[in-house]
Structure 1
Amino acid sequence: MTGEIIEATAGSRVSAKELEMLGAVEKKVRWLSSWTIHHANHIRPKRDGIKVGGHQASCASLSTLMTALYFNVLRPQDRVAVKPHASPVFHAINYMFGRQSREKLENFRAFGGAQSYPSRTKDGDAVDFSTGSVGLGAAVTNFAALTQDYLRYKNMLPKGEKPGRMVALVGDAELDEGNIYEALLDTWKHDIRNVWWVIDYNRQSLDGMIDAHLFRVIGRFFRAVGWNVITIKYGRKLHEAFARPGGKSLKKWLNESPNDVYSALTFQGGAAWRKQILADMPGDNALASLLADYDDDELHDLMTNLGGHCMEAILNAFENVPNDKPTVFIAYTVKGYGLPLQGHKDNHAGLMNVAQMEGFRKANNIAEGDEWDITAGLDCDAQDVRTFIDAAPFNNRQPRQKFAEIITVPEMPYQRADTSSTQEVFGKILNELAKSKNSDFSDRIVTTSPDVTVSTNLGGFVNQRGLFARENLADEFRDRKVPSAQKWIRTPKGQHVELGIAENNLFLNLAALGLSHSLFGQRLFPIGTLYDPFIARGLDALNYACYQDARFMVVATPSGITLAPEGGAHQSIGTPMIGMGQPGLTSFEPSFGDELAVVMGWSFNHMQDQDGGSVYLRLSTKPMEQPERELDEATRSAIVRGGYWLREPGENCKMVLAYCGAMAPEAIAAWEQLKNDHPGMGLLAVTSTDRLYNEWQDLERARLEGRAGGETAHIEDLLKPLAPDARMVTVIDGHPAALAWLGAVRGHAVAPLGINAFGQCGDSIDLYKHYQIDTAAILRAAKRWD
């Protein structure tokens, strides 16, 4: 697969009247974004003395491109990830559309106001994809396109509606982020379509200048993964100048000008341009004559007439995309275009001062008091402008976020075995669900994994439901009758999306799949699996997915040092703390199969609740004897609330053992040996440190504010039978702090056992002994108070 190289030129099918309106709107977009930032930094009261910020220069470089997209090119079904530092432009456009309030703009970067970076959860309906951690917003559009294809090939989207384009507005410095290239490579394998990336090639980063040859590397990389590459380099005025005598020399000088020289001259202005060009091209009389036809202001205007600021060149590029293959536009721009800051290498975090803003106000013909007026200062009829804005195809007044029906979740098909692990039970439950025919729930499950499908027990589900691909691809091993436990048949009906070994891509894929109900109006139940320690490797993307309120289940397995022979690189320590601390993600670490079945059933409903979220299951490969029991409703409720008494404490209980996950056998064995010496000793099964801790903390905050009344937290009720001087031993195959807080609930002494050092190879017996989480260690901790 090879990408096409296209050089965009000036000229567009858009009428002169439309170009006039687009020019007026662009001017207003640039003003409003700059004024919003200025108001936040220089007009709104500043109580703490800290700079508010807002990236005026980064906004200005994208104003023309975003105007062209939002007021001409985009359709309602298109979805956009806005460059984080262009957030004020996005807010200004939505203000003009009537989707954003003046109050929100006046409180930009203030509590309750428009957010510093576009946020689905804080900015409301208008935001398609949250951005902020650079690179992730761009990459998620690829996976959103994959999600759209997934739904489209299953006939789950409206018939006859053209697929939406997933559009990313990308800063050139964002291309330093490695996750960009991981995403490009992984989605190339899936032959995604209908993706546009518009690169704001302003040749400046936060701290300096971009390498002069980056554009060549960008083009080569995107072409290597099959993208169309369209360069928008020069605007109409420059193209016209190039056609005149001396124009070829001018173009040669521009093509060879280093980025830092071009930017410095952009800041200095027309006289500096003239002096530098004539010094670099001595004796070129035709060029000198060409430059002499422009005064200093005109020459400056000409030299900054890059493609990314020429509406005709931009529209020409967007109009001439040859097919639905992914397309990248490399749009040359000026950072700070049209502002006093333009081109200066320090302008990234720079702000116009009061005097500069007054000059900018006069240049925009804005009277005091009219700063927020949508048509003030424009040279065309105000009603024409409002009519044009209302008629923009993207501005259809319909909610951007869609709604999907609630899907009934069946009872999880758990079948007890004498001995099993939570990872094995997880795989068996999914396998049984996959066997269900004509099940709307099972048909909406989509699994994904970064090349660990088999080792995380997804194999059974994939064998039943197949892998997703745009075209039918046979399993050659099966067709050649080569024995294999796995049937890797790829079809458009498949329900597993296989990824390469890139955890960021896993969480970006889960983010896109987990927003399908909101983006496309169709609910999916995404389940992603990976080894537990590698949650840390993809943590930025996981946080990004949760920040968008995407709904998915991440199954992290195997976990802890229980994955003994694999060594420290594959053993996890701090992941229980991630599960407790990550907003939008509820974590569980069940010990037994029946607990897991209850948790999974609750999780699929939680993923659909209006105030729900995503779920993290920390599972283990450790085989354990499974209890023979029928869980009553009270116990099932306690399991999903975070814990229950496996052995009830007696009256005036003085000793408690509390365990989590894989440590159940060791804790049970210790309880058996201690129960006679400590009558009434309790054994607490903690299924979710997250739910126990956060419910308790939320209630504690409510009490401080006088809002709690007589309500008590689940963990408070569980620990109520304990004597005031009772002692606790907690044990987890993870950091001990995940359970050590239990003593603070009712003021009990705690001996927390867990892992706080890197693991190593061994069997679980040796490692449990070395890291002091075996039965003997529990007994020692309990007896230290005797």
Structure 2
Amino acid sequence: MAAVHNPHQKVLRKMSAQDATPEIGEIIEASSTGQVKAEDLEMLGQIEKKVRWLSSWTIHNANHLRPKRDGIKVGGHQASCASMTTLMTALYFNVLRPQDRVAVKPHASPVFHAINYLFGRQTKEKLEKFRSFGGAQSYPSRTKDGDQVDFSTGSVGLGAAVTNFAALTQDYLRYKDMLPKGEVPGRMVALVGDAELDEGNIYEALLDTWKHDIRNVWWVIDYNRQSLDGMIDAHLFRVIGRFFRAVGWNVITIKYGRKLHEAFAKPGGKSLKKWLNDVPNDIYSALTFQGGAAWRAQITSDMPGDNALVSLLGEYEDDALHDLMTNLGGHCMEAVLSAFDAVPNDKPTIFIAYTVKGYGTPLQGHKDNHAGLMNVPQMDTFKEQNRVEDGQEWDFAAGLDISEDKIRSYIKNAPFNDAASRHKKADVITIPDMPYARTDTSSTQEVFGKILNELAKMKKSDLSDRIVTTSPDVTVSTNLGGFVNQRGLFGREDLADEFRERKVPSAQKWIRSPSGQHVELGIAENNLFLNLAALGLSHSLFGQRLFPIGTLYDPFIARGLDALNYACYQDARFMVVATPSGISLAPEGGAHQSISTPMIGMGQPGLTSFEPSFGDEVAAIMGWSFDHMQAEDGGSIYMRLSTKPLSQPERDLSDADKSDIVSGGYWLREPGDDCKMVIAYCGAMAPEAIAAWEKLSEDHPGLGLLAVTSTDRLYNEWQDLERARLEGKADAQMSHVENLLKPLASDARLVTVIDGHPAALAWLGSVRGHAVAPLGVNNFGQCGDSIALYEHYQIGTDAILRAAKRWD
């Protein structure tokens, strides 16, 4: 792709690889011929003032004016908002286009809501209820703030990293001609707090997406040099800048504003710049809080005998000196706009914008200001400074120097403000029957791989063409190999499989091309779930539906759990196949044997979990899942699969059978009249449960054998109905699990067995008040064969028999 022509390229190219990143002052000088219009600077300055006021007032209203029923502090991060107002005003009202997508720094949520209020996309009522039930959310939320939000943020670092994978998703669609021809690609923009760069997932994402040569990503770093508890280490941040350059990013530093650059050009200016470059972050922040007299005393003390510097400082009264010393690049609209205009190409770009935390407020610079709030007297003073009269706090133009009509007209014509929904729609794809062919013996993981392989062979299939698989370097061992052999690896350029070219025998055919449908990742589960999040939002972000399928080893869900929760929180749609699972992965030992993951599947909102035993169950679940991923009230899917080979039942499932399977369970052996005992099993424990049923059924002719395919669906449907009943609703309605257990006698006993945590099934006794003997694993596993481990952890056939006979 050709580089974008830019008049500032010469400035950037003069910098050698060893030099510091170009300072924005040099870019301003190169663009001082009127590229930033005076009218834009004036209008944006007024809008910025209003944005800062509205964000501060929204927080103040929530904490000091709105009644508190529980007495708990509401919060809202006024200082973290104030450091972002220039940057966000420049972006939203001048730079961004409708196709650009933005992840907003979590603590700048009130700024985001204020901007949308000015756009007419947010209501006064929502702002008045900020952080209250039904109001604007504490952190931007796709699902709770409506269609204003492109990416949810909250857990720091994830919002930044997901933009990389959104750019990768955009490239995936572009290279397959699934986006409108001629449409300029959107920029995936992350507004990032500097302390977010402490998060390790940031660097995992940078490395993995560097391999895919992503484009059209901007990260704007709010470098206010303060974290929640202290100051950011300046030396560490220099290392971070070098890291970004090492992975191919443009790095543009927005350090000083116009006023400071003009001061640097005067006699004594070089000394002032040297002092600013050398001053430690904590001293700078303390002086920012103390004000003009403190600046003067500190600088003259640190630079004794520099008469030119003393004369320069003498040109400024205390207030003017304070204004000068806080004129950092991130608060200079001209510097910010020039920086955004200076990007030389479509390669990823990071802007390190120097800012003041709490800029323009009484909280600025204080190391305790992160969770600090302006008190009532401080807010009264701040209101006077903004010339806002009592009763005008929410007014559109109160306190501004430009008429409301001019402000409204400017905002209406902002490129980003096209009034269209930020959430696009995609066509619903018709899902065919899954191509399942029974074999005498197979594992659920094997069946999953075979179904995908058969889908990959289908030509002109909307479903098959829109499946995209991804895995953290376990593609082959999770049975995605067949699909990849058929459909190939995705890459921006063609790359042959050298083993194949050299005729070296290999079962795998790793051919990379723009037409490929597998996104190869390194061993980083956070990246897997962030990639699934971005791919799973393709219908909403880009108007084209994909069916993302990610695979990983089941125990390592825990390594990426924060990113998985993040993906589900913003209603991304994907299928995660976790395999192998449980202590049935016997020889691998405790590090690879998952114990608590069934509980994760039950407890994670937005994710429906299944644990099938047989191949036809896998096929039924996959078919339902592709529909569920498209439904308005749908979500994502988690299948916990096993490598344990099981004898496959000879049966043709009816529609009713398939419905029971996807509803969470069915009777593999129907209970008899007045049934006194049931064995309930999950997943890989089917053979042991069946063997125990066969031995017990002679003495217990009514014995039932319950196959639980989804503890999640059974439990949550039952609980939803229980809550409805407490409200006097749904009294006559019965959940699937209640209907399943209805034939049991009131004194019936249940034996439940799973190769994970026993609590996943133990709750079954609560449905109708039956006693339960829950068998499962609640300790770390160890190496051995499955027979030895089942005996040791007491979940095998003999253990089931012992549990059942306790009640004889």
TM-score clears 0.5: yes
Whether 2:742 is the aligned partner of 1:720: answer: yes
State TM-score, norm by structure 2.
Answer: 0.97
Report the AA paired with residue 95 of structure 1: Y
Whether 2:355 is the aligned partner of 1:355: answer: no
Aligned to 1:122: 144
Q: Is the 8 A contact 1:3 1:227 kept in 2?
A: no
SS in 1 for 2:234: coil
1:60, 1:3 → 2: CA distance?
34
Aligned to 2:311: 289
Consecutive unaligned residues in structure 2, runs of 5 or more: 1-15
Whether 2:346 is the aligned partner of 1:324: answer: yes
1:368, 1:148 → 2: CA distance?
48
State the aligned residue count. Answer: 786
Output the aligned Cα RMSD: 1.0
2:397, 2:243 → 1: CA distance?
43
Whether 2:168 is the aligned partner of 1:146: answer: yes
Give how far 1:269 is off. Answer: 0.2
Which one of the candidate residues 343, 349, 366 is aligned to 1:344?
366
Give how far 1:240 is off. Answer: 0.2
Give how far 1:23 is off. Answer: 0.2
SS in 1 for 2:350: strand
Aligned to 2:597: 575
Per-residue deviation, residues 126-161 of structure 1 (Å, max 9, x unmatched): 000000000000000000000000000000001111
1:391, 1:371 → 2: CA distance?
25
Aligned to 1:692: 714
Which one of the candidate residues 410, 416, 419 is aligned to 2:438?
416
1:329, 1:66 → 2: CA distance?
13
Which one of the candidate residues 189, 196, 209 is aligned to 1:187?
209
Which one of the candidate residues 24, 36, 50 is aligned to 1:8?
24
Aligned to 1:770: 792
Aligned to 1:636: 658
Whether 2:300 is the aligned partner of 1:274: answer: no
Aligned to 1:586: 608
- Equivalent residue runs for 1:344-743 within 5 Å: 344-743=366-765
Give how far 1:709 is off. Answer: 3.0
Consecutive unaligned residues in structure 1, runs of 5 or more: none
Which one of the candidate residues 182, 199, 203 is aligned to 2:221?
199
Greater mean alpha carbon deviation, residues 9-18 or residues 171-180: 9-18
Aligned-pair identity in percent equals: 83
1:632, 1:394 → 2: CA distance?
52
Aligned to 2:7: none
Q: Is the 8 A contact 1:529 1:555 kept in 2?
A: yes
Report the AA paired with residue 109 of structure 2: S
Q: Is the 8 A contact 1:236 1:310 kept in 2?
A: yes
Whether 2:174 is the aligned partner of 1:156: answer: no
Per-residue deviation, residues 106-144 of structure 1 (Å, max 9, x unmatched): 000000000000000000100000000000000000000
Q: Is the 8 A contact 1:215 1:330 kept in 2?
A: no
Report the AA paired with residue 35 of structure 2: R
Give how far 1:634 is off. Answer: 1.3
Q: Is the 8 A contact 1:193 1:325 kept in 2?
A: yes
1:463, 1:623 → 2: CA distance?
24
Q: Is the 8 A contact 1:654 1:725 kept in 2?
A: yes
1:521, 1:558 → 2: CA distance?
34
Q: Is the 8 A contact 1:53 1:349 kept in 2?
A: yes
2:580, 2:194 → 1: CA distance?
39
2:110, 2:336 → 1: CA distance?
21
1:212, 1:475 → 2: CA distance?
45
Report the AA paired with residue 158 of structure 2: L
Give how far 1:15 is off. Answer: 1.1
- Equivalent residue runs for 1:176-255 within 5 Å: 176-255=198-277
SS in 2 for 1:538: helix
Q: Is the 8 A contact 1:26 1:64 kept in 2?
A: yes
Report the AA paired with residue 30 of structure 1: R
Give how far 1:3 is off. Answer: 11
2:532, 2:428 → 1: CA distance?
19
SS in 2 for 1:197: strand
Aligned to 1:87: 109
2:40, 2:780 → 1: CA distance?
64
Q: Is the 8 A contact 1:54 1:116 kept in 2?
A: yes
Give how far 1:215 is off. Answer: 2.8
Q: Is the 8 A contact 1:3 1:228 kept in 2?
A: no
2:189, 2:589 → 1: CA distance?
42
1:441, 1:739 → 2: CA distance?
34
SS in 2 for 1:6: coil
Per-residue deviation, residues 698-754 of structure 1 (Å, max 9, x unmatched): 000000000113000000000010011110100001100000000000111100000
1:300, 1:611 → 2: CA distance?
54
Tell me: CA distance 1:450–1:3, structure 2 relative to 1, closer, same or farther (3 Å). farther
Q: Is the 8 A contact 1:2 1:226 kept in 2?
A: no
Aligned to 2:11: none
Give how far 1:499 is off. Answer: 0.2
Q: Is the 8 A contact 1:241 1:247 kept in 2?
A: yes
Greater mean alpha carbon deviation, residues 651-660 or residues 10-19: 10-19
SS in 2 for 1:112: coil
Tell me: CA distance 1:541–1:2, structure 2 relative to 1, closer, same or farther (3 Å). farther
SS in 2 for 1:134: coil
1:337, 1:189 → 2: CA distance?
38
SS in 1 for 2:146: coil
2:578, 2:371 → 1: CA distance?
39
Report the AA paired with residue 371 of structure 1: E
Aligned to 2:195: 173
SS in 1 for 2:774: strand
Report the AA paired with residue 355 of structure 2: T
Per-residue deviation, residues 615-638 of structure 1 (Å, max 9, x unmatched): 000000000000000011111110
Per-residue deviation, residues 158-195 of structure 1 (Å, max 9, x unmatched): 11110000000000000000000000000000000000
Greater mean alpha carbon deviation, residues 215-224 or residues 164-173: 215-224
Greater mean alpha carbon deviation, residues 179-188 or residues 215-224: 215-224
State TM-score, norm by structure 1.
Answer: 0.99
Per-residue deviation, residues 320-370 of structure 1 (Å, max 9, x unmatched): 100000000000000000000000000000000000000000000000111
Give how far 1:2 is off. Answer: 7.8
Report the AA paired with residue 122 of structure 2: Q
Q: Is the 8 A contact 1:3 1:229 kept in 2?
A: no
2:36, 2:233 → 1: CA distance?
35
1:473, 1:183 → 2: CA distance?
23
Q: Is the 8 A contact 1:2 1:227 kept in 2?
A: no
Per-residue deviation, residues 666-717 of structure 1 (Å, max 9, x unmatched): 0000000000111110000000000000000000000000011300000000
1:309, 1:709 → 2: CA distance?
60
Give how far 1:498 is off. Answer: 0.5
Aligned to 1:22: 44
Give how far 1:784 is off. Answer: 0.5
SS in 2 for 1:644: strand
